[in-house]
Chains A and B, each alone.
Chain A
Amino acid sequence: MVSQLINANPVVYEIKDRPARVRQPAEEDEYGADPIDQQEIFDILSTVVVVRRLNHIRDIKDPEHPYTLEELKVVSEDAIDVDDKQSHVRVTFTPTVEHCSMATLIGLSIRVKLMRSLPSRFKVDIRVAPGTHATEDAVNKQLNDKERVAAALENPNLVDMVEGCLSKTYL
């Protein structure tokens, strides 16, 4: 029962320079000529913030730097599989600590981000990288149960936390 519930002192990685790509709004892309690829999904997800919300739990008045999923290497480009023809995306993420209680929140934020960014034809599967989380199967099952996700997204407190992870600007 040691409180290694979050990664108090995460390793932060340097962000790789890469050309910015600007994508047109989702509707125009539906079955469009410009297929969605790995890098685009990565670009969508790379700005999702985690640590800021951990601090929210820890101490609401404690202003801290937000870390993005990219900075923490929670999501990397090669852990994203895209099949545009089949309208299928699979994201495999790596929680920062084995016992990280935030794994479901991170997963939920990833799901919401993709739900908002991708055309509705896409089916999204989200998984914890094998061997990186103590209750991997349970986390995977919950994140891919759309009924549980739908109910979670009607809970104002959870939505608040997810929105915090998704807001790009930081005070």
Chain B
Amino acid sequence: MEVEGEVELKELCRLEGHTDRVWSLAWNPAAGGDGVPAVLASCSGDKTVRIWRQNLAADSWDCTAVLDETHTRTVRSCAWSPSGRLLATASFDATTAIWENVGDDFECVSTLEGHENEVKSVSWNASGSLLATCSRDKSVWIWEVQSDGSEYDCVSVLQGHTQDVKMVQWHPVSDVLVSVSYDNSIKVWAEDGDIDDWRCVQTLEESSGGHTSTVWALSFNSNGDKMATCSDDLTLKIWDTSGSFQIIDDGHSPWRHICTLSGYHHRTLFSVDWSREGIIATGAADDAIRLFVEDKHSPIDRPSYKMILKKEKAHEMDVNAVRWNPKDPRLLASASDDGSIKIWQCSC
């Protein structure tokens, strides 16, 4: 997007309720926009998940549900199915729970066991037919949703990472999965009809322009031809799969490194999110939120990105998650070690 004039990030609301650090956030993709209240899920070290609904009349946010009594340890990550009917939550208790949204209530309809220890992240594919999870046990699992969403079959256990896998994220369009790890690498996984299983089709590591420390998170742009990754090495990296004429095995077009943003962050970057309008937000251990956009007027002859805003002291402690609302692309939510969630309005 083109950024004209001053960029601002205005704090609309501070959501209190969690009694420990808030690790992750997910906007319900089926809610919000056109006078419909937006719905946000948050998960925390207090072992609970909270559901927050926008109160349009009062211009506030209400906590409409607290999902507890299922996970026995930190809930690290949460993700809504594309229809918004199911919420998946990944926990340090080694399980992934599936909750069905029935009216205002949430019912735990399934618990996926199998990981050896902490589950770090969960993600639904674009059609909602597959679920991916990852864990400190170094593996990435792919589950197929059966019938009504209460039964799941494990279709693959992928063991390519050599360390703790921090996050998994499905491509927004195709059934390609990306995982990032404590082993500093990014791996791309796709189904291989030949072996009737999934396998790693690409590994992005230091030698391919990748990160030199733990990769904490990734985010795709809306059409999926670019992705951003962020790391403990204090950089944000942009990867591109368009304009690549070289096709490596079975039709997979490889990702290549196009840009590294370094010097902006001074402590670990925990979260990155790419808005529908092309604004990349990051959350970091320096308590700040930063916004970046592609610099169309860059004098250099290759893609370049520039920071358009640094919100110092966005929270009192580390910022663990930043998430743009899918319906209202100027609405940003952030979560922090300070136990709070904030809703921001971005204006530019």
Measured CB to CB, the residues of A under 8 A from B are 120-121, 123, 141, 145-148, 150-151, 154
Contact = CB atoms under 8 A, between A and B. Distances in A.
Interface in B66-107: 73-74, 76, 92
B203 interface: no
Interface string B148-167: 00000000000000001010
B317 interface: yes
B214 A151 contact: no
B316 A121 contact: yes
B317 A120 contact: yes
Nearest to A122: B317
A-B interface, 10 closest residue pairs, ranked by CB to CB distance from nearest: A154-B73, A151-B118, A151-B92, A154-B92, A120-B317, A154-B74, A150-B74, A150-B45, A145-B214, A123-B267
A123 B21 CA distance: 15
B164 A148 contact: yes
Contact of A120 (B164, B232, B267, B316): B316
Contacts of A154: 73-74, 92
A148 B182 CA distance: 10
Contacts of A123: 267, 285-286
| Chain B interface residue bracket vs A | 20 to 34
A147 B167 CA distance: 12
Contact of A147 (B117, B120, B286, B317): B120
Interface residues of chain A: helix, strand, loop or mixed (majority)? helix
A123 B74 CA distance: 22
A146 to B, nearest CB: 7
B136 interface: yes
B267 A141 contact: no
A99 B90 CA distance: 35
A151 B73 CA distance: 9
B94 to A, nearest CB: 11
Interface in B180-220: 182, 213-214
Interface in B113-127: 117-118, 120
Contacts of A145: 182, 214, 232
Most chain B CB neighbours (cut-off 10 Å) among A121, A148, A151: A151
Contacts of A151: 73-74, 92, 117-118, 136
A151 B23 CA distance: 12
7 contacts: A121-B317, A123-B285, A141-B213, A146-B318, A147-B166, A151-B117, A154-B73
Contacts of B267: 123
Given A145-B232, A151-B136, 8 more contacts: A120-B317, A120-B338, A121-B316, A121-B317, A123-B267, A141-B214, A145-B214, A150-B92
Most chain B CB neighbours (cut-off 10 Å) among A145, A147, A151: A147
Nearest to A137: B213
A146 B318 CA distance: 10
A123 B118 CA distance: 25
A57 B238 CA distance: 47
Interface string B117-141: 1101000000000000000100000
B316 to A, nearest CB: 7
Interface in B286-318: 286, 316-318
Nearest to B45: A150
B257 to A, nearest CB: 23
A145 B270 CA distance: 11
A105 to B, nearest CB: 18
A141 B183 CA distance: 11
Contacts of A147: 76, 120, 166
A8 B347 CA distance: 63
A1 B92 CA distance: 32
